[in-house]
Chains A and B, each alone.
Chain A
Amino acid sequence: MANITKEEIRKPENLVYKKTDLLTDKALSYCPGCGHGTAHRIVMEVLEEMDIQDKTIGIAPVGCSVLAYDFMNIDMQQAAHGRAPALATAVKRLHPDKFVFTYQGDGDLAAIGTAETIHACNRGENIVIIFINNGIYGMTGGQMAPTTLPGMKSSTSPYGRDVQTMGNPLRITELIAQLPGTIFVTRQAVHTPAHVRKAKKAVRKAFENQKLNKGLSFVEIVSNCNSGWKMTPLKSNEWMVDNMFPYYPLGDIKVNE
């Protein structure tokens, strides 16, 4: 190490990792440490590796990731709140040769869009749904979502979620795994390098399924919301491991070959 300079290492032929060109140079609008950025990147890396970026249409949701079309350098549409699976159905049926995916948060997919999600999954539309679950409405100021954990504080449950009056957290991923239309249902996370690699493999499998016209693949990514949870990014990741993972266990829920 003593006789090699940084300039000798920083040469194009030694490059092993750089941000994919499918993400624009625009600075992401997410809070520091938010899992959305990593999730965006793994989806774009999978499209690049499969070389299908010219044939892919993404559907952006309403929520923190509403501006996903500004960051993902592919063809995108933005749907009304919760309606991304319905829009994706239309796009896929009109363009069956294209790859179609939706990218949705828990407020979008598991609250206002529950009907669209369940019916698109039940019909077995040949699309990919990427679902980011952080247990809170991040964009509007940390309100309680259907996925908020029991006892978890949010701006509309300041004393913690009381399941007697506010209901139980919704495990929508387990719910849709029951439906015959889904082919691959999995839950992943992106807070450590190992989890990012696993999540990327899951996203890759989901797009491979779509290539083979197998049916709907659903990838949930449990993520943090450090602003909404009022923690530092590292603290929020620890809190996620200690509290979110016991309720939302990681792993494949349904794999049909």
Chain B
Amino acid sequence: MAKVVGDIVIDIEKCKGCSVCIPACPQDVIALSKNVNGKGYNYAESINDECTGCTNCAIVCPDGVITVYRKKVE
């Protein structure tokens, strides 16, 4: 059965750590990092491999810092 796997790339220097993406993710992939970026924000990061590439996080991100990839695996 074909399965879909996804991955997100977050521009951590532009992320403001607003965490709007966290409840938007149905797979609970995103969490705020303990580290801070150059602006002093705890940026969002991907914490597991459950991403399906649904793009929910990217379309609610006010700063548009999330890029989403999706691939079908046979």
Contact = CB atoms under 8 A, between A and B. Distances in A.
A190 B55 CA distance: 15
Contact of B5 (A1, A17, A36): A1
A18 B61 CA distance: 11
Interface in B9-37: 9, 14, 16-20, 22-24
A28 B18 CA distance: 13
A19 B67 contact: yes
Given A33-B16, A234-B20, A9 B5 contact: yes
B60 A38 contact: yes
B69 A14 contact: yes
Chain B interface residue bracket vs A: 20 to 34
Contacts of B20: 33, 191, 233-234, 237
A9 B69 contact: yes
Contacts of B1: none
A20 B61 CA distance: 13
A15 B14 CA distance: 20
Interface in A164-209: 190-193, 196-197
A27 B14 contact: yes
Contacts of B55: 16-17, 193
Contacts of B45: none
Greatest chain A CB density within 10 A among B14, B16, B17, B69 is at B69
A193 B60 contact: yes
Given A32-B18, A33-B20, A196 B62 contact: no
A32 B17 contact: yes
B3 A9 contact: no
Given A9-B69, A17-B67, A18-B67, A192 B19 contact: no
Given A1-B5, A4-B5, A193-B56, A234 B23 contact: yes
B38 to A, nearest CB: 10
Given A32-B16, A237-B20, A190 B60 contact: yes
A32 B37 CA distance: 14
Contact of B24 (A1, A11, A14, A193): A193
B71 A8 contact: yes
21 contacts: A1-B49, A4-B71, A4-B73, A10-B7, A14-B71, A15-B67, A16-B68, A23-B64, A30-B62, A31-B16, A33-B18, A33-B19, A33-B62, A34-B18, A35-B62, A37-B61, A37-B64, A38-B59, A38-B60, A192-B24, A232-B19
Interface of B: 3, 5-7, 9, 14, 16-20, 22-24, 41, 49, 53, 55-56, 58-71, 73
The 9 closest A-B pairs by CB, nearest first: A37-B62, A33-B18, A32-B16, A19-B64, A32-B18, A17-B68, A193-B56, A233-B18, A9-B7
Given A4-B5, A17-B68, 5 more contacts: A9-B70, A10-B69, A17-B55, A19-B65, A32-B62
